[in-house]
Structure 1
């Protein structure tokens, strides 16, 4: 059975490939107004997901609770909403989705911090 850290690292690598593809499209099409979206693909998507995955791998007890699964999905869904919302804003659209995504991402990050802070109480 895969561990939550593995899922986070896999999600991060998917974000990396998507972010690179988006960056290539942005460069080829000269759509540099999407640079902010591109940065969020890589920072919120790739870098943070892989970092969370490495933390879960370093502290395997953190991933044993159902709360870790909730945290994974909360963060990753929030990241999708945030990045899609940033792309909409960069393209001249509404900022509603980026607002929702930002709130969901920060809740996922807060939950990660909570799980990390409580790790001593979790099984090793």
Structure 2
């Protein structure tokens, strides 16, 4: 899960960078909102979730860990697609459900984290705290 989240984050980062370079080269700055959402929701939050899983390893034992990852990533894709549609003048019908799916993925992470047994961040076998 840790590696999945961080790899997903890097995929989002590469996408966001390439998309941003394309927007700058083609002078299509009306898509800057889509670009920002891809980088923030995709890269930043994905990597942060990966680091949370790394620092609280008991989260990985939760049966919701894989569904939480899937829900969040699907939500981010749907939301960014909706933002892109809005930025190009469309109705952005994907943005509202994408937003709700992202919130659901975040609430799942919150729920799992809030119910995690107290442990020192980063505490692992064989590692001094």
TM-score by length of 2: 0.89
Q: 1:6·1:57 contact (CA, 8 Å) conserved in 2? A: no
Alignment match, 1:58:
55
Moved over 2 A (4+): none
Q: Does 1:17 align with 2:7?
A: no
Alignment match, 2:88:
91
Q: Which runs of 5+ in 2 are unaligned?
A: 119-123, 125-129
What are the Cα deviations for residues 6-53 of structure 1, in whole angstroms up to 9, with x where unaligned?
100000000000000000010011000000000001100000000000
Alignment match, 1:32:
29
Give the secondary-structure state (helix, strand or coil) at the position aligned to 1:25.
helix
Name which one, 1 or 2, has greater alpha-carbon Rg.
2
Q: 2:30·2:88 contact (CA, 8 Å) conserved in 1? A: yes
Q: 1:75·1:108 contact (CA, 8 Å) conserved in 2? A: yes
Distance 2:16 2:63 in 1: 29
Of 108, 111, 116, the match for 1:111: 108
Distance 2:58 2:94 in 1: 34
Q: Over aligned residues, Cα RMSD in angstroms?
A: 1.4
Distance 1:65 1:116 in 2: 10
Which stretch of structure 1 is more off in the superposition, 57-66 or 37-46? Answer: 57-66
Q: In the comparison of the two structures, how many residue pairs are matched?
A: 120
